């Protein structure tokens, strides 16, 4: 389903708002996960104070443009989900790591903390 311009602007604004106040961010490839798997991951994220969203890469690049996570822009390639820690800097990493232990399909591509891309 194609998004119209207003919907795209709303997504960019929402993600930018979250990114501007987040402590850390993770981009992970979710290829191969089922709808049920993603639903469980979203539930786990909500319970841990983590904002989780699948966003088109071009919209994600625009959303993080003027934030500490602009360093991630070059890596937005392929099907990615974004996880932002809103309360605890390590929350997103824990949620993604715990989920990936049982789901090999979830592959972390980038981690950013305090404007720095970690390797």
What does each C-alpha distance from 14 to 56, 65, 82 come to in angstroms? Answer: 13, 13, 13
Which pTM was predicted?
Answer: 0.92
Q: What pLDDT digit, counting tens, does each position of 2-21 carry? A: 889 999 999 999 999 999 99
Distance CA 104, CA 31 (A): 10
Q: What pLDDT digit, counting tens, does each position of 69-83 carry? A: 999 999 999 999 999
Q: What is the CATH number of domain 5-118?
A: 3.30.70.1730
The full set of domain ranges for the chain reads: 5-118
């Amino acid at each position: 389903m194609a998004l119209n311009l207003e919907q795209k602007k709303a997504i960019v604004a929402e993600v930018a708002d979250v990114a501007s106040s987040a402590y850390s961010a993770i981009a992970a490839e979710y290829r191969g996960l089922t709808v049920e798997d993603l639903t469980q991951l979203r539930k786990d994220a909500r319970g841990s104070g983590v904002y989780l969203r699948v966003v088109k890469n071009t919209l994600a690049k625009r959303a993080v443009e003027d934030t500490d996570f602009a360093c991630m822009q070059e890596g937005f390639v392929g099907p990615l989900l974004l996880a932002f820690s809103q309360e605890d800097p390590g929350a997103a990493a824990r949620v993604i790591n715990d989920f990936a232990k049982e789901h090999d399909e979830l592959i972390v591509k980038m981690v950013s903390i305090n404007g720095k891309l970690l390797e």
